Structure 1
Amino acid sequence: MHALPSYFLSHGGGPWPFMMDQVGHLYGQLDAALRDIPRQLGVTPKAVLVITAHWEERDFTLSSSARPTMIYDYGGFPPHTYEVRYNAPGSPELAAQVQLLLEAGGHPARLDAQRGFDHGTFSALYPIYPDAQVPIVQLSLKRGLDPLTHLEVGRLLAPLREQGVLIVGSGLSYHNLRAFNAQGAAASHAFDGWLRATMALPPRERTARLLEWEQAPAARMAHPREEHLLPLMVALGAAENEPAAVPYHEDAFMGSLAVSSFRFGRAAVA
């Protein structure tokens, strides 16, 4: 098996894949982009490791249950969205392997057998693997949200790609909930344009610019708090010297926002 690419996925809002009858006109492009990922990979991964924007711990922490529960970490949605199930298995073996990789690299890591799937995981993965057949392990962010720390962790995870593990950073390239409408259009376009231009740079320059992301145009308007951007650092670190592609970009997400997803490493099928 060739090394799988890694992805940073803009995962959309709340439980949107389970509300397509109501919101499909807003999420059609994202849904199509996520559903295309199995074709890009050309193989079914042995497992998926999701670095989720919706989980922060003092030390990096991994979900280690064989049968994860669900976490409905959103509010104001229809009643049925608090009953949805994404019944993918966990992988205690992969969780333990990742813990060893991180600790060998100098980053303390813990296992959490109680942690369920949050919507950063199940909303991103349901369109990709609707049959929930691929085991999933979640990896938390580390409090403090230091970009270099998360990049270093991505570097430590790189060998998993050779073993058939798909590494996914799940966040959003624009995440300012106080301006998640036309009010945020200019900032989202400025920041997203900078992100896409950065991805086209040679690897060393690309990494250096991303580590200094706060210098980007409208950076703090796009990310008042950077938890939805940090999964990008992990996905990049896992395939740091490989080319980037933009498998999803939308200029009018939610009517007016610019958002993107990124792939690092070559797809089996372009």
Structure 2
Amino acid sequence: MLAAYLPWSDSNAYWLVDSKTHRLAVKALGFGFDEAVPLFFGESFAPAMDLSPWLIPVTEQVTSLDDVVLDLGILLRSERPVDEVIDHLRSLLIASLDGEEVMFRYYDKKVLLAMLQAMDESERYAFMGNIDTMILAEQEVHEFKNNASKPFELNVDVWWRLLPHHMDALYDVQNHAKILERRLWELIPNALAQFDSPSNVIIHALESAIERNYEKSQLESCVIIEVAKQANLHLSELSMPLRLTFDELKALQSIKETWS
């Protein structure tokens, strides 16, 4: 699908790929890509360099790849010099989420598509920065153009802020349940051991909370309440193993009053 958008060579076109796709493409090509640049940089990224995404200028090397491989990446176009494009993409690697700094995997096309579709126009233009067009193939081709009216200015440090509505489309109950179950086995194994299928209890609690329009920030509290209920435990009994503060326990008690 992406092949239809590529001439054999275009100095303004780039192929953005995650580390897995980069390794697959290098193996298919038989050698590395000319002028390819890893986006991870500096001491803070040194331990994770093997996981770095790569920005690869589109040349005949890229267009010679099988369509299946090519469609795993993201096509970018920009009239700005490549160094400026790299600087902007690197500025997005760390974002702010609920006041904390987190890795932002925008180079994963599933993450990118969900977020671009969730953003309003001004957010999309700010995120794209000095990139004129983003094209990715996920079931079908999705093309996003940057029609910002203000001149681009490079942001430094941590500037991109992940907001709740950006994340809604990325939420997955099954994945959340797996993460929660692993953590609860560490903290309250005796409670989970009472269930034939702890994962079913957790999934049911998450789905019930979502159906009943609890806030995303309350989902894990709903799981704790349901686990305590089915294990015949008082919430106060979980306070120490879950390392709950007085205010957190009070908040759980409040949510419990609406949970049945």
TM beyond 0.5: no
Q: TM-score, normalised by structure 1?
A: 0.22
Q: TM-score, normalised by structure 2?
A: 0.22
**Structure with greater helix percent:** 2
**Structure with greater strand percent:** 1
> Greater RCO between the two (CA within 8 Å, min separation 6)?
1
Bigger-Rg structure (1/2): 2
